[in-house]
Protein backbone atom coordinates (compact mmCIF):
# COMPACT_ATOMS: atom_id res chain seq x y z
CA UNK A 1 0.00 0.00 0.00
CA UNK A 2 1.30 3.45 -0.91
CA UNK A 3 1.75 5.99 1.91
CA UNK A 4 -1.12 8.45 2.32
CA UNK A 5 -0.41 12.19 2.47
CA UNK A 6 -3.11 13.20 4.95
CA UNK A 7 -1.64 15.82 7.29
CA UNK A 8 -0.25 19.35 6.99
CA UNK A 9 1.50 20.81 10.05
CA UNK A 10 1.90 24.62 10.10
CA UNK A 11 4.19 26.15 12.73
CA UNK A 12 2.81 29.45 14.05
CA UNK A 13 3.90 32.16 16.47
CA UNK A 14 0.50 32.70 18.15
CA UNK A 15 -2.06 29.91 17.90
CA UNK A 16 -5.01 32.12 18.91
CA UNK A 17 -4.20 34.63 16.17
CA UNK A 18 -3.81 31.85 13.61
CA UNK A 19 -7.11 30.23 14.58
CA UNK A 20 -8.83 33.61 14.22
CA UNK A 21 -7.31 34.09 10.76
CA UNK A 22 -8.26 30.68 9.40
CA UNK A 23 -11.78 31.03 10.81
CA UNK A 24 -12.29 33.74 8.18
CA UNK A 25 -11.57 31.05 5.58
CA UNK A 26 -14.11 28.64 7.06
CA UNK A 27 -11.67 26.42 8.98
CA UNK A 28 -12.78 25.49 12.50
CA UNK A 29 -9.63 24.59 14.43
CA UNK A 30 -10.10 22.85 17.78
CA UNK A 31 -7.44 23.31 20.47
CA UNK A 32 -6.17 20.08 22.00
CA UNK A 33 -7.28 20.13 25.68
CA UNK A 34 -4.01 18.47 26.71
CA UNK A 35 -1.79 20.83 24.69
CA UNK A 36 -2.97 24.43 24.42
CA UNK A 37 -0.28 25.17 21.80
CA UNK A 38 -1.66 22.52 19.39
CA UNK A 39 -4.88 22.63 17.33
CA UNK A 40 -6.33 20.57 14.50
CA UNK A 41 -8.96 20.80 11.78
CA UNK A 42 -10.33 18.02 9.54
CA UNK A 43 -11.30 18.98 5.99
CA UNK A 44 -14.06 17.20 4.02
CA UNK A 45 -11.46 15.81 1.59
CA UNK A 46 -9.76 13.90 4.42
CA UNK A 47 -6.83 16.27 4.95
CA UNK A 48 -5.98 17.03 8.58
CA UNK A 49 -4.36 20.43 9.19
CA UNK A 50 -2.49 21.14 12.42
CA UNK A 51 -1.38 24.44 13.92
CA UNK A 52 1.55 24.17 16.33
CA UNK A 53 3.09 27.04 18.25
CA UNK A 54 6.85 27.26 18.04
CA UNK A 55 7.41 26.15 21.66
CA UNK A 56 5.23 23.05 21.11
CA UNK A 57 7.10 22.23 17.89
CA UNK A 58 10.42 22.53 19.72
CA UNK A 59 9.13 20.10 22.38
CA UNK A 60 7.67 17.59 19.90
CA UNK A 61 10.61 17.85 17.48
CA UNK A 62 13.81 18.06 19.57
CA UNK A 63 16.37 20.25 17.82
CA UNK A 64 13.80 22.30 15.88
CA UNK A 65 14.71 25.99 15.81
CA UNK A 66 13.15 28.51 13.40
CA UNK A 67 16.03 30.95 13.81
CA UNK A 68 18.48 28.20 12.84
CA UNK A 69 16.57 27.49 9.63
CA UNK A 70 14.38 24.56 10.69
CA UNK A 71 11.43 24.03 8.31
CA UNK A 72 8.27 25.97 9.29
CA UNK A 73 5.84 23.54 7.65
CA UNK A 74 5.56 19.76 7.45
CA UNK A 75 3.70 17.36 5.17
CA UNK A 76 2.95 14.02 6.82
CA UNK A 77 2.65 10.65 5.06
CA UNK A 78 1.00 7.75 6.89
CA UNK A 79 2.37 4.21 6.55
CA UNK A 80 0.97 0.83 7.56
CA UNK A 81 3.67 -0.34 9.98
CA UNK A 82 6.70 0.98 11.89
CA UNK A 83 8.90 -1.15 9.63
CA UNK A 84 7.51 0.70 6.59
CA UNK A 85 8.45 4.03 8.21
CA UNK A 86 11.99 2.83 8.89
CA UNK A 87 12.39 1.38 5.39
CA UNK A 88 11.17 4.52 3.61
CA UNK A 89 13.43 6.72 5.74
CA UNK A 90 16.42 4.51 4.86
CA UNK A 91 15.44 4.60 1.17
CA UNK A 92 15.28 8.41 1.10
CA UNK A 93 18.57 8.82 2.98
CA UNK A 94 20.14 6.32 0.58
CA UNK A 95 18.86 8.40 -2.33
CA UNK A 96 20.79 11.41 -1.03
CA UNK A 97 18.11 13.35 0.85
CA UNK A 98 18.81 14.85 4.28
CA UNK A 99 17.32 13.41 7.44
CA UNK A 100 15.92 15.87 9.98
CA UNK A 101 15.02 13.21 12.57
CA UNK A 102 15.77 9.49 12.47
CA UNK A 103 12.88 7.08 13.17
CA UNK A 104 11.76 7.21 16.80
CA UNK A 105 8.80 6.25 18.98
CA UNK A 106 7.10 9.58 19.68
CA UNK A 107 5.47 10.25 23.04
CA UNK A 108 2.06 10.71 21.36
CA UNK A 109 2.04 7.08 20.18
CA UNK A 110 3.41 7.17 16.61
CA UNK A 111 6.50 5.80 14.93
CA UNK A 112 7.91 8.97 13.40
CA UNK A 113 10.73 10.15 11.15
CA UNK A 114 11.38 13.38 9.26
CA UNK A 115 13.33 14.02 6.07
CA UNK A 116 13.81 17.20 4.02
CA UNK A 117 12.74 17.42 0.40
CA UNK A 118 14.83 19.09 -2.30
CA UNK A 119 13.65 22.54 -1.15
CA UNK A 120 14.16 21.95 2.57
CA UNK A 121 10.50 21.32 3.47
CA UNK A 122 9.85 18.91 6.32
CA UNK A 123 8.37 15.56 5.26
CA UNK A 124 7.08 13.41 8.13
CA UNK A 125 6.82 9.63 7.80
CA UNK A 126 4.64 8.03 10.47
CA UNK A 127 2.29 5.28 11.55
CA UNK A 128 0.19 4.84 14.71
CA UNK A 129 1.77 2.40 17.12
CA UNK A 130 2.58 1.78 20.76
CA UNK A 131 5.98 2.91 22.00
CA UNK A 132 6.24 -0.30 23.99
CA UNK A 133 4.83 -3.72 23.21
CA UNK A 134 1.49 -4.48 24.80
CA UNK A 135 1.38 -7.30 27.32
CA UNK A 136 -1.33 -9.91 26.89
CA UNK A 137 -2.26 -9.72 30.56
CA UNK A 138 -2.45 -5.92 30.77
CA UNK A 139 -5.73 -4.43 31.98
CA UNK A 140 -7.45 -1.52 30.31
CA UNK A 141 -9.17 1.13 32.40
CA UNK A 142 -10.98 4.36 31.70
CA UNK A 143 -10.13 7.33 33.90
CA UNK A 144 -13.03 9.77 34.18
CA UNK A 145 -11.94 13.24 35.28
CA UNK A 146 -14.58 14.95 37.41
CA UNK A 147 -14.77 18.72 37.90
CA UNK A 148 -16.41 20.24 40.97
CA UNK A 149 -17.94 23.71 41.29
CA UNK A 150 -15.12 24.74 43.63
CA UNK A 151 -12.43 23.51 41.24
CA UNK A 152 -14.05 25.41 38.35
CA UNK A 153 -14.29 28.56 40.49
CA UNK A 154 -10.66 28.28 41.60
CA UNK A 155 -9.52 27.85 37.99
CA UNK A 156 -11.55 30.86 36.85
CA UNK A 157 -10.08 32.99 39.64
CA UNK A 158 -6.48 32.37 38.52
CA UNK A 159 -4.64 35.00 36.54
CA UNK A 160 -3.51 34.07 33.04
CA UNK A 161 0.03 33.10 34.04
CA UNK A 162 -1.13 30.93 36.94
CA UNK A 163 -3.76 29.23 34.76
CA UNK A 164 -1.16 28.50 32.08
CA UNK A 165 1.08 26.88 34.71
CA UNK A 166 -1.87 24.71 35.77
CA UNK A 167 -2.49 23.65 32.17
CA UNK A 168 1.22 23.01 31.77
CA UNK A 169 1.18 20.55 34.68
CA UNK A 170 -1.64 18.64 32.96
CA UNK A 171 0.24 18.54 29.65
CA UNK A 172 3.33 17.29 31.45
CA UNK A 173 1.32 14.55 33.19
CA UNK A 174 0.05 13.26 29.84
CA UNK A 175 3.57 13.41 28.38
CA UNK A 176 5.09 11.59 31.37
CA UNK A 177 2.52 8.78 31.11
CA UNK A 178 2.26 8.59 27.31
CA UNK A 179 3.36 4.94 27.26
CA UNK A 180 0.29 3.94 29.33
CA UNK A 181 -2.33 6.25 27.80
CA UNK A 182 -4.01 4.88 24.68
CA UNK A 183 -6.23 7.91 24.12
CA UNK A 184 -7.82 10.84 25.90
CA UNK A 185 -10.17 13.72 25.24
CA UNK A 186 -11.81 16.72 26.85
CA UNK A 187 -15.60 17.09 27.00
CA UNK A 188 -17.45 20.32 26.39
CA UNK A 189 -19.46 21.76 29.35
CA UNK A 190 -22.72 20.03 30.41
CA UNK A 191 -24.94 22.78 28.98
CA UNK A 192 -23.81 21.74 25.47
CA UNK A 193 -25.16 18.19 25.92
CA UNK A 194 -28.26 16.73 24.25
CA UNK A 195 -30.17 13.93 25.98
CA UNK A 196 -32.36 11.33 24.26
CA UNK A 197 -34.79 9.39 26.51
CA UNK A 198 -36.23 6.19 25.06
CA UNK A 199 -37.86 4.59 28.09
CA UNK A 200 -41.44 5.38 27.09
CA UNK A 201 -42.85 5.40 23.56
CA UNK A 202 -41.24 7.83 21.13
CA UNK A 203 -37.72 9.11 21.91
CA UNK A 204 -37.75 12.42 23.76
CA UNK A 205 -34.90 14.81 22.96
CA UNK A 206 -33.96 17.51 25.48
CA UNK A 207 -31.14 20.01 25.77
CA UNK A 208 -28.67 19.55 28.60
CA UNK A 209 -27.30 16.55 30.55
CA UNK A 210 -29.48 13.63 31.63
CA UNK A 211 -28.94 14.61 35.26
CA UNK A 212 -27.93 17.91 36.84
CA UNK A 213 -25.15 17.84 39.39
CA UNK A 214 -22.38 19.81 41.06
CA UNK A 215 -19.82 17.26 39.89
CA UNK A 216 -19.47 16.71 36.14
CA UNK A 217 -17.21 14.55 33.99
CA UNK A 218 -14.98 16.93 32.04
CA UNK A 219 -12.92 14.36 30.16
CA UNK A 220 -11.60 10.82 30.11
CA UNK A 221 -8.54 8.78 29.24
CA UNK A 222 -8.08 5.13 28.33
CA UNK A 223 -5.05 3.57 30.00
CA UNK A 224 -3.32 0.20 29.61
CA UNK A 225 -1.63 -0.94 32.84
CA UNK A 226 -0.72 -4.15 34.63
CA UNK A 227 -3.36 -3.92 37.35
CA UNK A 228 -5.47 -1.62 39.53
CA UNK A 229 -2.49 -0.82 41.75
CA UNK A 230 -0.62 0.64 38.78
CA UNK A 231 -3.72 2.61 37.76
CA UNK A 232 -3.95 4.02 41.28
CA UNK A 233 -0.28 5.03 41.27
CA UNK A 234 -0.83 6.85 37.99
CA UNK A 235 -3.97 8.65 39.18
CA UNK A 236 -2.37 9.76 42.46
CA UNK A 237 -0.06 12.02 40.44
CA UNK A 238 -2.94 13.66 38.50
CA UNK A 239 -2.44 17.45 38.92
CA UNK A 240 -5.87 18.89 38.07
CA UNK A 241 -9.53 18.25 39.01
CA UNK A 242 -9.99 16.72 42.50
CA UNK A 243 -11.96 13.60 41.51
CA UNK A 244 -10.96 10.77 39.17
CA UNK A 245 -13.08 7.64 38.73
CA UNK A 246 -11.23 4.49 37.61
CA UNK A 247 -13.38 1.94 35.82
CA UNK A 248 -12.20 -1.27 34.08
CA UNK A 249 -13.19 -1.79 30.46
CA UNK A 250 -15.24 -4.83 29.50
CA UNK A 251 -13.59 -7.36 27.23
The Cα–Cα gap between 79 and 75 comes to 13
- Percent of the chain at pLDDT > 70 equals 93
Element (H, E) at 126: strand 122-128
pLDDT at residue 78 above 60? yes
Percent of the chain scoring above 90 in pLDDT: 39
pLDDT at residue 41 above 50? yes
Q: What is the pLDDT of residues 215-225, one digit of tens each?
A: 888 899 999 88
Confidence category of residue 189, pLDDT binned at 50, 70, 90 = confident
3-state DSSP assignment of residue 214? coil
Question: Where is pLDDT greater, at 90 or 187?
Answer: 90
- 64 near 78, Cβ under 8 Å? no
Domains of the chain: 4-128 (3.10.180.10), 139-248 (3.30.70.1060)
Q: Round to whole Å and give the CA distance between 123 and 115.
A: 5
> Which whole number is the average pLDDT over 74-92?
92
Whole-angstrom Cα distance, residue 127 to residue 83? 9
Mean pLDDT of 127-132: 64
Return the number of other C-beta atoms located less than 10 Å from residue 9's C-beta: 22
Report how far residue 44's alpha carbon sits from residue 6's, in angstroms, rounded to the nearest whole number: 12
Calculate mean pLDDT across residues 8-22: 90
The predicted model gives 49-61 an average pLDDT of 90
Amino acid sequence: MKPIMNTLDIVVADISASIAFYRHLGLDFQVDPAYAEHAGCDLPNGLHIMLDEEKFTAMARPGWNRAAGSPPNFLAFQFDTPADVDAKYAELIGAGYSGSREPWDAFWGHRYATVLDSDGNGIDLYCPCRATAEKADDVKYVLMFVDTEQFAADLAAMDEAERERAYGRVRQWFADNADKIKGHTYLMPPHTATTVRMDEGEPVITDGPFVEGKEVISGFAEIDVADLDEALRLVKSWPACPLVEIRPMAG
